[in-house]
Homo-oligomer: A and B are copies of this chain.
Amino acid sequence: MRVAKDSPAKPATLADVARLAGVSVPTASRVLNGGVRGAASGRRELRERVEDAARTLGYAVSPAAQAIKGGRARSIALLVSDIADFGCSTMIAGVMRAAEDRGLSVAVRATLDDADREADLLTDFRGERHRAIVLATSRSTNLARESALDAQLRILQSQGTNVVLIGDSNLEYPRVTVDNRNAAAALAGALVAAGHRRFAIISGPEEQITSRDRAGGFLAGLSAHGIAVPEDAVVHSGFNRDGGYTAVDALEAHLRDLDVVAAMSDAMAVGAIARLRERGLLVPRDLEVTGFDHVPLLGDVMPEFTTVQVPLAEFGEAALRIALDEPGSAAGRRHVALKASLIVHGVKVGAGS
């Protein structure tokens, strides 16, 4: 008996189901959509016939067709810089979980920190007619870039796709943030309290708001205790592992006289630690390296690590609540601020805003 293995048999359509059940297409649709017309409506027997038919044929509704008809897909878009980044992936998981609770799917795209890519991806999203878009790429103060982005987002918004930002930004959209400044200041305070006096800072690109806020807050926290950081002990680099790695060399002049290298993200801290070791400095024996974000895994392998816990996984839930106009604060310009906590030498010591 020959198997028709290469038959590109077309998937069952609603029409197939209707035919098999002996009803019309709209009826089948109504039944499968949960009986819009009177919930437990219709002859029970008919309902069962349709459901049986659907099961028999292995029918699965085509979201594409639904989207094209309804004008909007049952999905939300998520833009991040890099999926492979630990922080990002935690946040993505949070968004997906939140979306799933609402019966929505998530389309994730990565910009890889390329502004052109970002623009292209937003254009794609426009065609995809998502319910909402969550923008989790780190925003900058570069006016040209940001206003180009703003224009894109405005279009998206005017076409019915809600926009939510994750993280601080100069753009005027609903957003969910963490008070990076105050958390960083609290971190600085804790480090001073622990007896440290000589600091260097590894921050992200100067234009980038998240790392700028963190570095600014950290410096402010230090100066509140009368401690200053030499100008050339604040270096800007890529906001990721490799950025932290290379930044260490820029700190060369200070390396032997430091208590703490404060990296403005856990990923940067990891890179810094690797490079410091290559240069013969051991962490935390010779100096301490602190991070920001709280990648869970780091606490396991570096129990003494000091960082700020950002509730990455909770961003998703908060963002979707805003994006989908659910009972949050009043409508209009909404903004949710989540709490960050300090983790000093592996121990959570409370909150900064």
Which of A5-13, A21-29, A37-45, A220-228 makes up part of the contact surface? Answer: A5-13
Do A61 and B96 have beta carbons less than 8 Å apart?
A: no
- Looking at the assembled complex, report how far the CB atom of A89 sits from the nearest CB atom of chain B, in whole angstroms: 4
Which of B10, B60, B110, B299 meets A123, CB within 8 Å? B60
- CB contacts (< 8 Å) of A34 on chain B: these are none
Which of B73, B89, B300, B303 meets A64, CB within 8 Å? B73
Indicate with 1 or 0, residue by residue over A294-338, a CB within 8 angstroms of chain B CB atoms.
Answer: 011111111100000000010000000000000000000000000
- Looking at the assembled complex, report how far the CB atom of A15 sits from the nearest CB atom of chain B, in whole angstroms: 14
Do A10 and B159 have beta carbons less than 8 Å apart?
A: yes
Find the B residue at minimum CB distance from A313: B84
> When chains A and B are docked, how far (Å) is the Cα of A297 from the Cα of B303?
15
Do B301 and A126 have beta carbons less than 8 Å apart?
A: no
Interface check A129, CB cutoff 8 A:
yes
- CB contacts (< 8 Å) of A159 on chain B: these are 8-11
Which of A183-191, A198-206, A207-215, A268-276 makes up part of the contact surface? Answer: A268-276
> When chains A and B are docked, how far (Å) is the Cα of A9 from the Cα of B65?
21
Do B60 and A126 have beta carbons less than 8 Å apart?
A: yes
Q: Which 6 A-B pairs have the closest CB atoms?
A: A60-B127, A89-B89, A274-B300, A84-B93, A60-B126, A64-B64
Other than the given A62-B127, A271-B300, 15 more pairs (CB < 8 A) read A7-B158, A11-B127, A61-B127, A62-B67, A63-B64, A64-B129, A68-B68, A83-B89, A84-B92, A96-B108, A96-B110, A108-B108, A241-B300, A270-B300, A298-B301
